[in-house]
Amino acid sequence: MRPKRIGILTSGGDAPGMNAAIRAAVRTAIHYQIRIFGFKHGYNGVIKGDIVELKRNSVANIIQRGGTILGTARSAQFTTDQGMAKAKKTLNRYKIDALIVIGGDGSMRGAYEFAKKTRVKMIGLPGTIDNDLLGSDFTIGFDTAVNSALEAVDKIRDTASSLERLFFIEVMGRYAGFIGLAVGLAGGAEDVLIPETPTDIPGLAKQIKHNIEKGKKSNIVIVSEGDEAGDAFTIAEKIKAILDEDYRVAVLGYIQRGGAPTAIDRILASKLGYAAVNGLKKNMYGCMVGEINKKIVDTPFEKTYSRKKKIDPDIYTIIKILAE
Ligand code: ATP
């Protein structure tokens, strides 16, 4: 049955483009005369009944804004039976027929568990800078995060070349190396350390020594935050213990999460927000809507998080060859 009242929330870490997705979902719902309600602060808002009806104007002037107007959160309570029962009560009270969740793998897992327990119709959108969800080539926020990190890397490169220094730059990505690889390739890094591949400290030291000997002006190593050899400081110290080379570390941190979303993220978010409402209208639920090979596809929730999305090993090969 076509839904009459739907809810929408953003969950997990915030990602640039979440607002564009909210805007698209709200405007599409209104186009079909479906009423749409925003829940504040992720699943917590559903538990607490922190709800606001979203009208056409509620989402005016937000397509270009980073963060999320609904706020986001990680909700420990939602992982409990009690929390879920409260959330279900809220949905009953406001007669919400279906829920759109924008978030990362944890949020999709939450949607799956909640739907299994309560039979609520749930549909997901991939919103995370980490790009670590199966079911979409890219997640909303990834492109902006990569571009923000890249801007910083480009600036650091100026200093690295002027001072002929070795730089370790730590980027986000949690347990996935997608941001690291993209920034490494686009930023012309000497090496990229990611959680998906074993980090060879003596091999890296040898490579850096070789680079310095042949007169490379800048040596930039991108470190993904989840690398098994440690954070950028730890890795830099391990290299120093072998090479005795001066180094600098830059941890980019939260600047990668903020800022205006790129055109790519706004377009993806708009397409997916539109697709989510259309999916619910066609009685499609229990899945995440993403884009694969430029086509909108739906993937059952459990497939989006139960296996690890694979990095493209060719990118690493290209980085290494281009840095020779
Ligand atoms: P990001 O990729 O940006 O970290 P995420 O969606 O993966 O985003 P998480 O903190 O892992 O972020 O998950 C968001 C929320 O989803 C959790 O705080 C919790 O409320 C809910 N969630 C995660 N796993 C479960 C689960 N097994 N059962 C119920 N809810 C869950």
Of ligand 1's listed atoms, the one at least distance from the Cα of 43 is 20
Domains and CATH numbers, the chain: 5-141+261-306 (3.40.50.450), 145-257 (3.40.50.460)
- Is the CB of 103 within 6 Å of ligand 1? yes
Mean pLDDT of all residues in 113-137 = 97
Residue ID of nearest Cα to ligand 1 atom 16: 107
Write down the pLDDT at residue 217. 81
User: Order of strands across the sheet with 247-251?
Assistant: 191-193, 219-224, 166-171, 247-251
Write down the pLDDT at residue 71. 96
Q: What's the CA gap between 201 and 211, in Å, rounded?
A: 15
- Is the CB of 130 within 6 Å of ligand 1? yes
- Is the CB of 28 within 6 Å of ligand 1? no
Q: What is the band of 123 on the pLDDT scale with cuts at 50, 70, 90?
A: very high
- Is the CB of 13 within 6 Å of ligand 1? yes
Q: What's the CA gap between 197 and 226, in Å, rounded?
A: 11
- Is the CB of 105 within 6 Å of ligand 1? yes
Catalytic residue among 97, 130, 265, 298: 130
Sequence-distant (6+) residues with CB within 8 A of 282 are: none
Q: Which residues pair with 277 in a beta bridge?
A: none
Write down the pLDDT at residue 218. 84
Mean pLDDT of all residues in 293-303 = 97
Query: Hey, is 260 helix, strand or coil?
Result: coil
- Angle of the 263-281 helix axis to the 18-31 helix axis, nearest 10: 40
Centroid of ligand 1 to alpha carbon of 103 (angstroms): 8
Write down the pLDDT at residue 190. 94
Mutate-to-test residue for ligand 1 from 18, 41, 107, 118, highest number of ligand atoms within 8 A of CB: 107
Mean pLDDT of all residues in 69-84 = 96
- Is the CB of 107 within 6 Å of ligand 1? yes
- Is the CB of 11 within 6 Å of ligand 1? yes
- Is the CB of 104 within 6 Å of ligand 1? yes
- Is the CB of 67 within 6 Å of ligand 1? no
Which amino acid makes up residue 131?
N
Write down the pLDDT at residue 244. 86
Q: What's the CA gap between 319 and 324, in Å, rounded?
A: 9
Mean pLDDT of all residues in 119-129 = 97
pLDDT single digits (tens) 159-199: 877 777 899 999 998 889 999 999 999 999 999 999 999 99
Residue ID of nearest Cα to ligand 1 atom 12: 12
- pLDDT for 147 beyond 80: yes
pLDDT single digits (tens) 5-64: 999 999 999 999 999 999 999 999 999 999 999 999 999 999 999 999 999 999 999 999
pLDDT single digits (tens) 149-168: 999 999 998 887 777 789 99
Centroid of ligand 1 to alpha carbon of 319 (angstroms): 33
Mutate-to-test residue for ligand 1 from 109, 112, 114, 140, highest number of ligand atoms within 8 A of CB: 109
Q: What is the band of 2 on the pLDDT scale with cuts at 50, 70, 90?
A: confident
Centroid of ligand 1 to alpha carbon of 160 (angstroms): 38
Mean pLDDT of all residues in 298-307 = 96
Question: What global pTM score does this model have?
Answer: 0.95
pLDDT single digits (tens) 208-256: 999 988 888 889 999 999 999 999 999 999 999 999 888 999 999 889 9
Centroid of ligand 1 to alpha carbon of 265 (angstroms): 22
Of ligand 1's listed atoms, the one at least distance from the Cα of 84 is 29
Phi, psi of 41 (to 5 degrees): 55, 55
pLDDT single digits (tens) 266-285: 999 999 999 999 999 999 99
- Angle of the 81-93 helix axis to the 105-118 helix axis, nearest 10: 70
Centroid of ligand 1 to alpha carbon of 106 (angstroms): 3
158 is catalytic: no
What mean pLDDT, rounded, does the chain reach?
95
Percentage of residues in the chain with pLDDT exceeding 70? Answer: 100
